[in-house]
Amino acid sequence: MKKVLRIILWSLFGILAAGYIFLFVAYNGYKPDKIDIEVSSEATAYFNETYEDCRSDFLSEAEKIKQEYSFVEVSNILVPNKSGQELYIDLIYIPAQDTAINLMVLTSGIHGVEGFAGSAVQLMTIKEIISQDLLSSTGLFLIHGLNPFGFKNIRKVTENNVDLNRNCAINQSLYDVVNEGYRDLVEMLGPTKKADHANSKNRNFHIIAVQKIITESMAALRQAALQGQYEYPEGIYYGGQKFEPQISALAPILKGIMVDYSEILTIDLHTGYGANGVLHLFPNPIEDPIVKSGLENIFSGYQIDWGDSDDFYTILGSYVDWIGSLAPGKLNLPMVIEFGTLDSQKTLGSIRSIQNMILENQGQHHGFKNERTEAKIKSRFREMYYPSSEEWRTKVILDSKEILEKVFQRL
Ligand SMILES: [Zn+2]
Q: What is the pLDDT of residues 130-184, one digit of tens each?
A: 999 999 999 999 999 999 999 999 999 999 999 999 999 999 999 999 999 999 9
Which region holds residue 294: left if phi is over 0, alpha if psi is between -120 and 50, else beta? alpha
Give me ligand 1 centre to Cα 71, in Å.
32
Give me ligand 1 centre to Cα 271, in Å.
6
Note the pLDDT of residue 247. Answer: 97
Share of the chain above pLDDT 70, in %: 100
Angle between helices 347-366 and 218-226 in degrees, nearest 10: 30
Give me ligand 1 centre to Cα 9, in Å.
48
Written as one letter, the residue type at 216 is E
Q: Spell out the residues 6+ positions from residue 111 whose beta carbon is closer than 8 angstroms to its own.
A: 147, 150, 156, 157, 163, 164, 165, 270, 271, 272, 385
Note the pLDDT of residue 59. Answer: 98
Fold (topology level) of 41-410: Aminopeptidase (3.40.630)
Give me ligand 1 centre to Cα 117, in Å.
11
Higher pLDDT among residues 223 and 259, named by residue: 259
Least confident of 210-214, 253-257, 321-325, 336-340: 210-214
Higher pLDDT among residues 310 and 103, named by residue: 103
What does pLDDT average to over the chain?
95
Give me ligand 1 centre to Cα 165, in Å.
8
Task: Work out whether strand 88-94 and strand 138-144 pair parallel, antiparallel, or are unpaired.
Answer: antiparallel
Q: With a cut of 90, say whether residue 1 has pLDDT above it.
A: no
Closest CA relative to residue 273, chosen from 207, 337, 181: 337
Q: What is the pTM of this model?
A: 0.96
pLDDT digits (tens, 9 = 90+) for 40-99: 999 999 999 999 999 999 999 999 999 999 999 999 999 999 989 999 999 999 999 999
Give me ligand 1 centre to Cα 11, in Å.
46
Give me ligand 1 centre to Cα 43, in Å.
21
Instruction: State the pLDDT confidence band at 309, using cuts at 50, 70 and 90.
Output: confident
C-alpha 208/C-alpha 24 separation (Å) is 12
Angle made by CA atoms 318, 105, 78, in degrees to the nearest 5: 80
Least confident of 133-137, 306-310, 346-350: 306-310
Give me ligand 1 centre to Cα 160, in Å.
17
Note the pLDDT of residue 217. Answer: 86
Give me ligand 1 centre to Cα 111, in Å.
5
Average of per-residue pLDDT across 244-249:
97
User: Which residues line ion ligand 1, judged by CB < 5 Å?
Assistant: 111, 114, 270
Q: With a cut of 90, say whether residue 323 has pLDDT above it.
A: yes
Average of per-residue pLDDT across 361-379:
98
Give me ligand 1 centre to Cα 136, in Å.
31
Give me ligand 1 centre to Cα 137, in Å.
30
HSE-up of residue 200 (Cα within 13 Å, Cβ side): 0
Instruction: State the pLDDT confidence band at 378, using cuts at 50, 70 and 90.
Output: very high
Give me ligand 1 centre to Cα 280, in Å.
12
